[in-house]
Amino acid sequence: MLSIYQLRVFVEVARLGSVQATADALVVSQPAVSAALGSLQRELGVKLTERDGRKIRLTEAGKSFERHARRIFALLDEGRQHALEIAQRSAGRLRIAAVTTAAEHLVPELLQSFREQEPDVGVELDVGNHEHVWDRLTHWAVDVVLAGRPPAEQPLYTLATRAHELIVIAPPGDGDATSLGSATWLVREPGSGTRAVTEECFASLGIDPPRLSIASNGAIGACVRAGLGYSLVSRDAVVDDLRAGHIRQVATPLTPLNRQWHLVAARDRDLPETVGRFVTFAIERGGFTAGAGPDPSSETSLEQR
């Protein structure tokens, strides 16, 4: 019979790609990790992992099993939380993941206002790039994500949206739109949704400028203010600097780009009650508009507008 320990070892091996790293993370011996992994594969009758030099990688069967194993831990955590809520008569919790721009410039005020209305709700905020937040949601490690448009191939749906713009910013008085191809551009790291949109803009404009990769919106803003180059950012991230004249907006043939922030949930799990209350609050007090809901056909209509 499969054990929680076997599953924990497998999930850590999948995450770390190493028996030694897994042993260190779980504070057990290397032979104990190997034994747990071997017994799990024997019980399943399926090869889940294979050697790749000094690393361990998942087989195709292993990748499929990992998705279910991670969800098992998510469900156990959810069950524990629900039991605590009943025993302690607590108001529940909200686990939200947000892409960096939203986490830095939209989420703080939204959560602060929500906590004022519901001070007993526990809030957990996970911040990462585009790839990170969707991974967390599809494996049920968070309840809701605030990011750009959700990937169409994932079982996700939009609960609510809020309009925002992507604009090109530059240091004050530094060139104009004719400098787009020669100026250095400050871009987010690979895996960021803004980075992907920026590269699409370069292709559409027919330019291939020099790039500096920076993994923080705050650092990008500081670098633009210091005169290091241009960047494509959400207006939400730089509204104060624009007003103060620390940076300026550059008009281009493509920008500003009208975009939507999406509050997104997983289609294949029940929506926690706290998420429903948070979404209602975001619509009533946070400037969001109700999304299409779990009907796939209506979601397509929303995404295309």
The whole-number pLDDT of residue 198 equals: 93
Distances (CA, A) of 97 to 64, 109, 138, 264: 23, 15, 12, 10
Residues in the chain: 305
List, for residues 92-107, the tens digit of each pLDDT value. Answer: 789 999 998 899 889 9
CB 146 within 8 A of CB 262: yes
Say whether pLDDT at 302 is over 70: no
pLDDT at 19 over 80: yes
Pick the CATH number of 86-163+260-304 from 3.40.50.970, 3.30.2030.30, 3.40.190.10, 3.30.110.30: 3.40.190.10
Residues 170, 247: contact at Cβ < 8 Å?
yes
Residue spans of alpha helices (H) in the chain: 4-16, 19-26, 30-44, 60-88, 100-105, 107-117, 130-138, 193-205, 217-225, 235-244, 273-285, 296-304
Topology classification of domain 4-70: Arc Repressor Mutant, subunit A (1.10.10)
Within the chain, which residue ranges are assigned CATH 1.10.10.10? 4-70
Q: What's the DSSP call for residue 178?
A: G
Q: Give the per-residue pLDDT at 129.
A: 87
At 271 the pLDDT is: 83
| pLDDT confidence bin for 75, thresholds 50/70/90 | confident
- Residue 297 predicted with pLDDT over 60: no
- Give Cβ neighbours of residue 59 (< 8 Å, ≥ 6 apart): 47, 48, 49, 50
pLDDT exceeds cutoff 70 at 292: no
pLDDT, position 303: 30
- Sequence ranges of the chain with CATH classification 3.40.190.10: 86-163+260-304, 164-258
The CA–CA distances, whole Å, from 216 to 28, 127, 194, 237, 242 equal: 36, 11, 12, 11, 18
Summarised one tens digit per residue, pLDDT across range 156-208 is 999 999 999 999 999 987 555 567 888 899 999 887 888 989 999 999 999 99
CATH architecture of 164-258: 3-Layer(aba) Sandwich (3.40)
Q: What angle do CA 183, 189, 192 make, to 5 degrees?
A: 110
- What is the reported pLDDT for 85? 61
Sequence-separated (6 or more) residues with CB below 8 Å from residue 183:
170, 174, 175, 209, 229, 230
pLDDT of residue 112: 94
50 has a pLDDT exceeding 80: yes
> Model confidence over 39-48: pLDDT tens digits?
898 888 889 9
Tell me what pLDDT residue 81 has. 67
- Tell which wins on pLDDT, 19 or 298: 19
Report pLDDT digits (tens) over 135-147.
999 888 899 999 9
Cα distance between residue 305 and residue 245, in whole Å: 33
